[in-house]
Amino acid sequence: MAGGRRGNMLMRRDVLKWMGAGLSAAAWPDSGAAASRFPKGAVIRTVLKDLPPEALGGGATLFHEHMSLDADFIPRWIALARALAGRSQGNPGAGRGAPPPPAPAPQPYFMQDAELMTEEMSAAAKNGVACIVDQGHPDMGRDLDFLKRISSQSGLPIVAGCGYYAQPFYPPEIAAWSEDRIARELIRQAKTQPVGVLGEIGTWDVMTADERKVFRAVAKAHRATNLAIVTHTNFGKGALEQLDLLESAGVKPARVAIGHVGGLNDAAAAAPKEIAKRGAFVGFDRQGGPGDVMQVKMVMAMLEAGYAENLLFSSDFSIGGSQLKRNSGPGYAKAVTVFAPKVREAGVDEKTLRGILDDNPRRLLAFVPKR
């Protein structure tokens, strides 16, 4: 997948002629270049209906966002992140087990306000988003009916995830269930619910025995359904181990996106290049904020190495309502309206950006349903 893509990039001296073009102003015309690369009979499964991948061409597909979570999920997540930071600073007991009970979240929580979220999805569509993927599932408090409602009312297609997140958030039965039992449950969900991807499936610093069991079960569910897999890493830690495990369980790397790899602090992008070399997608999926300098450098290193077709951009929108359009923030399209312009300014042309934001995620999500 790596060869012959350097021609997509512009030299820095050519950037100025592209500066006037904006992804947020309008979606791209769909050239149809990616259409021939979709398998015959492939669909992208949204919460409302299956769509041909070509139907979503001409705009960005954000492969990793969140539009439906329990009000206590983010406080629990923050507690875990702080505990892990304490462990890395010399407290070996920190970060083990479930996070402490969270402080009550302000009400109403924005991800449980259908009117507000409908407005945000409509705004994202106006900013060039053609499809958005919610990478949550029940252990995060994801509500499929809520996603259906805001998709129907906004007109923006939404793909829903399926799976189990990471050790501290697993439901109690995971510890007792076998790998096959977990796989059967995931297959049941995939066959009875409108879910379109297995994700996000996570590990933290060191993959636990239960996380390894879940990853193997997810691989079995993938083989039974053809759904793509999207993972969570702790800012890239353990990324190659995740890919090793999935490959060893029979998953082709081209059906995998390793998440949060853009969080690594490595301008040379050594680990992302290794992931792409093996054929998997590399997620730069916490982008669109003030701290994107290193991520732009890593993206440029990936492009220089010829891995434009392995890159995915998104923002993992989840932490705060201050980023909403209603609150004068960039909203759910910030990977398109904030991060992409930074990459463009660094010297990337519109064809390459269209490939990353439009073609690549559709190739990941498109699958031929198994009967």
Whether the Cβ atoms of residue 205 and residue 237 lie closer than 8 Å to each other: yes
Q: CB neighbours of 7 closer than 8 A, spacing ≥ 6?
A: none
pTM, 2 dp: 0.88
**CATH topology for 6-71+107-365?**
TIM Barrel (3.20.20)
CB 80 within 8 A of CB 168: yes
> 319 falls in which pLDDT band (50, 70, 90)?
confident
pLDDT at 87: 63
| 175-191 residue pLDDT tens | 999 999 999 999 999 99
Q: Is residue 55 scored above 80 in pLDDT? A: yes
> Integer distance in angstroms from the first to the last C-alpha of the chain?
30
pLDDT at site 178: 98
Strand partners, 197: 161
